[in-house]
Chain A
Amino acid sequence: MKNLLILGAGTSGTMMANHLISKLPKKEWSITVIDQFKTHYYQPGFLFLPFDIYTTKQVKKKGEKFIPKGANYIQKKIELIQPDENKVILEGGRVLDYDILIVATGTKIAPGEIEGMDGPMWYKNIFDFYTYEGAKALRNKLREWEGGKLVVHITEMPIKCPVAPLEFAFLADSYFKNKGMRDKVDITYVTPLGGAFTKPKATEALHHLLEEKGIKEVTDFNIERVDYENNKIIDYAETEVEYDLLVTVPTNMGDELMERSGMGDDLNYIPTDKATLQTKDHENIFAIGDATNLPASKAGSVAHFEAEILTENILRYIKGEPLKAEFDGHANCFIETGNGKALLIDFNYTHEPVEGTFPLPGIGPLKLLKESRTNHMGKMAFRWIYWNMLIKGRHIPFVSTNMTEKGKHFETVEK
């Protein structure tokens, strides 16, 4: 009997277990999924929790429910990977041998990287919304907040779901308008990037929206520390931005397990081939989703497209066939713009988001890079798709793994 271990039961790990269970012969392969936590969170929902759009119940379920029957599930912390000996050691000392290892340990916030961020004011007037705890604490704060300077801030790139902080700013604008207190709130968007987004076309569209909603932008701001006593964030060039309420996206880092096992880069992400998803140092170790160092978005849609290619590559690896170098960095994100509307962007390693229709070329019904109510409906429907199709590894109709260029308005062929 051979062993395939999957580390992490988040979006990627759960999808891989569901894909592989029906593909690997049961008599030859045993699949085991390991995760230390009991709860599986619908992470896109963390954006809506602070604004009372989603309830806490809508964003969490018991993780084990989504692990397929026939796969083993161990709820334990992973202590160490010993890649040269093909072993994984769990907390308590249990040792698991593997023939193939899939690392899907994700990324998480590391507010401790910035001086003063998770100090005495953490969850008092400094919040994150990338964790369940942070999003919930922020919801409680917003319910009673009487206004002032709201600063929405990104610490450093890369971050999970790079559009989420923008969406937060847009939704905050709507939220305070609906509460009849927009005039009491000053919203500033602070980013280490040179503009609202890294891709020029989308930046233009998003900049316009920020302006329209009266949200100020501070760009090229590389934070050095939070002066929590005087409510200011200060960057390395000594620029200061004052806040009454700071909503920050702290530094994102891969799991410390990578550091302990000597397998990560300086942010604990695992160096991975961007087309095959095989790790660079060990041929029987593959990585997927946020845990990799791929130059693609850290997002569920990316993990979804990766999972289809990784499944095929694991089967090829077992047969001794060459791996398919096919992952193109495809990402597909709804960008909630507030007031019941959303944008949709579709892009990959080489093509930036452009205007057009999705998923059917020339038809839609969704429009790329344009605000619409249909796009918002798509985003809302996605929660159902996530729990019922995506993590179960079911193919989503009309949405192809590799990005299609049809129905899109490319000006010229890029890079």
Chain B
Amino acid sequence: MIKTFCKTQVEVKVSEDGYLEDMSQWNEEIAHEIAGELGIELTDKHFEVINYLREKTEAKEALTIRKVGKSGIVSIKELYQLFPKGPLKFSSKIAGIPKPTSCI
């Protein structure tokens, strides 16, 4: 699926549920736009989390709520406050990384 972001007028590839398929197509403008759609206004703290998620994804490390809670950036409680209703799903979507999967 191709999605066009209106403010930036960039076309990016997204999955069915709206996650960027190529994380290199991401930029801060896009982050703001996705966040807006989710009703979240991004602050510096949000970006600290987003950058952490992107770094770990680039290093091919699996992300969990527990891991973010131990990152030293935010506690799990704060992560919920920053991204209500979707601490890991919404933050991942805004960070332009794939949808988090729980291993089985």
Contact = CB atoms under 8 A, between A and B. Distances in A.
Contacts of A294: 103
Contacts of B79: 236
B66 A236 contact: no
A237 B76 contact: no
A266 B70 contact: yes
B67 to A, nearest CB: 6
A237 B70 contact: no
> Which has the most chain B C-beta neighbours within 10 Å: A157, A192, A224, A294?
A157
B85 A237 contact: yes
B87 A157 contact: no
A158 B103 contact: yes
Interface stretch (A91-99, A193-201, A391-399): A193-201
B17 to A, nearest CB: 11
Given A236-B77, A237-B80, A157 B103 contact: yes
Interface in A190-222: 192-193, 197-199, 222
Interface residues of B, number: 17
Nearest to B76: A236
B9 interface: no
Nearest to A235: B80
Contacts of A186: none
A158 B101 CA distance: 11
B104 A267 contact: no
Contacts of B104: 157-158, 162, 197-199, 296-297, 331
A295 interface: yes
B23 to A, nearest CB: 17
A222 B67 CA distance: 14
A162 B70 CA distance: 24
Given A236-B87, A297-B104, A224 B76 contact: yes
A312 interface: no
A162 B76 CA distance: 23
Contacts of A266: 66-67, 70
Contacts of B87: 222, 236
B102 interface: yes
Given A222-B76, A222-B87, A266-B70, A156 B65 contact: yes
A352 to B, nearest CB: 9
B69 to A, nearest CB: 9
B84 interface: yes
Contacts of B77: 224, 236
A197 B102 CA distance: 10
Contact of B66 (A156, A224, A331): A156
Interface in A335-390: none
B62 interface: yes
A305 B76 CA distance: 36
Contacts of A331: 104
Contacts of B84: 237
A314 B79 CA distance: 43
A198 B102 contact: yes
Contacts of B67: 266
A158 B65 CA distance: 12
Nearest to A199: B104
Contacts of A156: 64-66
Given A157-B103, A192-B102, A193-B102, 15 more contacts: A156-B64, A157-B102, A158-B104, A197-B104, A198-B101, A198-B102, A198-B103, A224-B77, A236-B79, A237-B85, A266-B70, A267-B66, A295-B103, A296-B104, A331-B104
In the A-B complex, the 8 residue pairs with the smallest Cβ-Cβ separation, listed nearest first, are: A295-B103, A157-B102, A236-B80, A198-B104, A198-B102, A162-B104, A158-B103, A297-B104
29 contacts: A156-B65, A156-B66, A157-B64, A157-B102, A157-B103, A158-B102, A158-B104, A162-B104, A193-B102, A197-B104, A198-B103, A198-B104, A199-B104, A222-B87, A224-B76, A224-B77, A236-B76, A236-B77, A236-B79, A236-B80, A236-B87, A237-B80, A237-B85, A266-B67, A267-B66, A294-B103, A295-B103, A296-B103, A296-B104
Interface of B: 62, 64-67, 70, 76-77, 79-80, 84-85, 87, 101-104
